[in-house]
Amino acid sequence: MTGPRIDLVYRLRVAPEQSAQRAQLLAVEQSIEMPPEAVGDARVIDEVLARVERVESLADGTSLARLQLACETVCDDAGQLMNMLFGNCSLQPDVELVDIDVPPSLAQAFGGPNLGSEGMRRLTGVFGRPLTCSALKPIGSTVAQMAGLCRTFAQAGIDVVKDDHGWANQRSAPFAERVAACQREVREANAASGRRTVYAPSLYGTLVQMQRQIELARTHGVGAFLVAPLICGVATFNAVKREHPDLAFIAHPAFGGAGRIAPPLLLGKLFRLFGADATIFPNHGGRFAYPAEVCQDIARNSRAPWHSLRAALPVPAGGMSVERVPEIRREYGVDTMLLIGGSLLIARERLAERSRAFVDAVAAADEVLA
């Protein structure tokens, strides 16, 4: 294989003595998808057929297979990368995609975060402490209810107020009216407080629809968006990001599965590669079952040096509470955004107070650590 290539690690759940053959079948499946002996073109065998570099048996009975895939199969298209990494073999239950690395040319083609964690800090004016984030819930609310939540969160000093990921264009609060009202509340609260709370509406549909949503939201001054890359397709996410290099994109893990693609790869690396400035993931101890070390690996992959890509802000979420702020702060460090949603809303008429308690807890956690 002479051209640039992608390094892949798969976990194989087969008997150790079958792992070498299984890895070879996988290399065929994820590249030429036909018997190599039927290929007449020597170049295809030499340069396009994926190559098994190494297979190692692990103590738990599974094996790790390291493969190399030719970059020419991917065409700098994010969807096509997913197709080559895990298209057909996603249908085979004995394979998991554990990790990848890409050559600098591919990292540059996808481009990574527009703003990254540093840019998220400039956008919000927050330095030296984790950012705070909450969500506008529930779907079915009216525009007035959403706007009221926005005002309360912004007045309490929460840095990022995002639509819940279930918001699309529901008739109770259509995108156009919702975005206008929510952004107005945030703008007015910012004018009064001198802070820079950011409102991030949720994008939905196709690239063409998202282009219209962004155009409309920009007229109100919106500078950040929530997007679920596995719902809209990663090619659409990457295209939206590249078309709008001044905007921030917060990636939501919806439809990400429970581990067939290892979450540190999917949410930590791939979302960042395709353009997540911040990556929401289900923290341990909440409503989701990711172990603590998986969550830490997501955060590590979001921030570790990787080609020239900006770092993404990890956003532990999914059933967090104000009481857990010190623990989350200790675990994930300062370059983090803490997202608390339902656990604030449950305070109902004391939402403002509870939101300020969240903001104060983040500040206090840093004072304790300082």
Residue 215 interacts with a copy of itself (CB under 8 A): yes or no:
no
Interface positions, 299-358, toward a copy of itself (CB under 8 A): 318, 341-342, 345-348
- Name the helix (H) or strand (E) containing 33: none
Q: Which of 6, 161, 232, 315 binds a copy of itself (CB under 8 A)?
A: 232
Residues near 155 by Cβ (< 8 Å), separated by ≥ 6? 189, 192, 193, 352
How many residues are listed for the chain in this entry? 370
Least Å from the CB of residue 88 to a copy of itself? 6
166 binds a copy of itself (CB under 8 A): yes
For a copy of itself (CB under 8 A), the number of binding residues is 84
Please, what is the minimum distance in Å from the beta carbon of residue 197 to a copy of itself? Answer: 20
For the bound state, the minimum distance from the C-beta of residue 179 to a copy of itself, rounded and expressed in Å, comes to 15
72-to-49, 113, 233, 272 alpha-carbon distances in Å: 11, 24, 21, 22
Q: Does 90 bind a copy of itself (CB under 8 A)?
A: yes
Does position 279 interact with a copy of itself (CB under 8 A)? The reply is no
Contact between 44 and a copy of itself by CB under 8 A: the answer reads yes
Residue 202 DSSP symbol: B
Collapse the DSSP code of 174 into the 3-class scheme (helix H, G, I; strand E, B; otherwise coil) and give the result.
coil
Residue 141 near a copy of itself by CB under 8 A = yes
| DSSP 8-state assignment for residue 130 | -
Question: Closer to a copy of itself at the Cβ: 116 or 253?
Answer: 253
User: Of 27, 65, 150, 239, which lies in the binding site for a copy of itself, with binding defined by CB under 8 A?
Assistant: 239
Q: Is 254 in the site for a copy of itself (CB under 8 A)?
A: yes
| Nearest residue to 96 (alpha-carbon basis) of 274, 266, 280, 279 | 266
Give yes or no for residue 364 binding a copy of itself (CB under 8 A). Answer: no
With both helix axes pointing from N to C terminus, report the angle between 175-193 and 207-219 in degrees, rounded to the nearest 10: 40
Cα of first residue to Cα of last residue in the chain, in angstroms, is: 51
What 3-state class would DSSP assign to 229? helix
Q: Hey, which residues between 94 and 123 contact a copy of itself (CB under 8 A)?
A: 94
